[in-house]
Structure formats: C-alpha cells, structure tokens
A = this chain, B = another copy of it.
Amino acid sequence: MKILMIEDNESVAQMMDMFFKKEQWDVVNAYDGEEGLAQFNAAPDSFDLITLDLNLPKMDGMQVAQEIRKTSKTVPLIMLTARDSESDQVLGLELGADDYVTKPFSPITLVARIKALHRRAEVSDAPAEAKPETTAEYDVVTPHFKLSTKTREAFLDDEPIEGLTPKEFDLLHTLAQNPKQVFSREQLLQLVWDYEYYGDERTVDAHIKKLRQKIEKVGPQIIQTVWGVGYKFDDSGLDK
C-alpha cells in the first residue's frame, strides 16, 4: 500500500510517517498543496490512499481536494482538520473526502480509519464475489484471542471481554496487535493518546489495571508487566 501524505507540520508529518512505516506502507510526503498536487498528478494511479491536511500553505486543502477529484473520482481521501472548524467537515465531504479525522488524533485511531477506508475501497474494486457481510472480520487473531474494531469486541477463548471503555479497548488493541512485543509507557501514551498529549505515566498503569480486571473476569491474564520496561500482550501461556 502506498500513501500520499500532504501535511505541512513537520513534527506531525514525522510522527505519521513513523506509524505508517510501522504498518509497512510506502509513504510519500508533500509539505504544501502545490507539491502534493504535483506528486499526485505525476502518478495518479500509484497511490492507494491520500491523507490531506486542510490547513496548508500555498494552496488551500479544499482546492487540493477538488483538483485531486478532477483526476480521480475514486482514490480514497482522508482529510485532517482542526477540531473546531465544523463547517470544514461539511464542505470537505462535499468536495469528495471519504473520511476526516480531527486534530490532534491518536495514531491508533488514524491508522484504524485508514485501514477501514482502504478495506472499503478494495472491496468495491474487486469483482462481485461471495459477500462475508455479517461474518465479523477480526483485526487481531491468535489461537486464544481475537479483536474486531468494527464491532469493538474482544474475545478471550471465545468469551467476550465486556464493558471495555474506549481507551481500554484501544490500549488492548495496540498491545495485542504485536503480541509479545514490549511497549514502554511512553510508547503507549504516544500510540493510544493524542500526539499532543504529554501526561503522567501512571495513567497507563491505571488503565492497565482496569483492563486487567475486565480480562480476569473471563480468563487468565494476557497482559504482562516487563519490569523496568513496560507492558506486553502474551497469551502463549494458554497453549498447553
């Protein structure tokens, strides 16, 4: 998958770039509207998805969107917009955005939205086939654990883990996406919270605790503490 990212704020661009690469996506970054449009027109068919910041130098994001839509009516387009400007959303959707995300966002959210949009686009391109409509598709699967962002449900040995709050779900999602990999508190704050958020590391602990409580209700612990480092998801202890 190849993404065109049109974003002028350098640190935000860097952050996004990092997370996209973690997903093994190719990223092309343009730092203003003109450059973005040029990049796109140079090879319109090569991009699978575009993220477009609305607040851009040289050429306004809305204009860019319009120009892009003149060339391709279908390429998936996500707009990034400041939280307050609600009218942008209206206009954005009219100008052909498929989704928009308000800044500041959490990486896990953005990535999830991109994946969802890409999935939709892929399906509609494909020839008509057997429709798995109602068959839940899971984003994370191990022999004992599965999780779906579509339904926001998580299962441990087919028992639903119930009552998860948004943060708890995202946290579990992040950890479970890379089983056995240790995440520092700092990393988790970066992944699950807004990229502008710099808070207490104990916050992570507190959420882990509540998450563990809800997991314990249906099965053994799958979130381990790695002393001096952080936390990890590991359900391999259930294999025997």
Contact = CB atoms under 8 A, between A and B. Distances in A.
25 contacts: A1-B128, A10-B69, A10-B73, A11-B94, A11-B95, A13-B73, A14-B73, A17-B74, A18-B98, A22-B120, A22-B124, A24-B124, A89-B198, A133-B178, A134-B178, A136-B180, A151-B180, A151-B182, A151-B232, A152-B182, A152-B229, A153-B180, A165-B228, A166-B227, A166-B228
Contacts of A150: 181-182
A202 interface: no
A21 interface: yes
Copies of this protein in the assembly total 2
Closest 3 A/B residue pairs (Cβ): A21-B124, A166-B228, A151-B180
Contacts of A120: 21-22
B232 A179 contact: no
A26 interface: yes
Nearest to A230: B152
Interface size class of A (residues with CB under 8 A): 35 or more
Given A69-B14, A180-B153, A229-B152, A90 B24 contact: no
A66 to B, nearest CB: 10
Contacts of A94: 11
A183 B240 CA distance: 39
Contacts of A182: 150-152
A123 to B, nearest CB: 7
A84 to B, nearest CB: 15
Contacts of A98: 18
Nearest to A131: B24
Nearest to A160: B236
Nearest to A163: B227
A125 B207 CA distance: 35
A96 interface: yes
A38 interface: no
A181 B151 CA distance: 4
Contacts of A179: 134
A133 to B, nearest CB: 7
A226 interface: yes
B24 A128 contact: yes
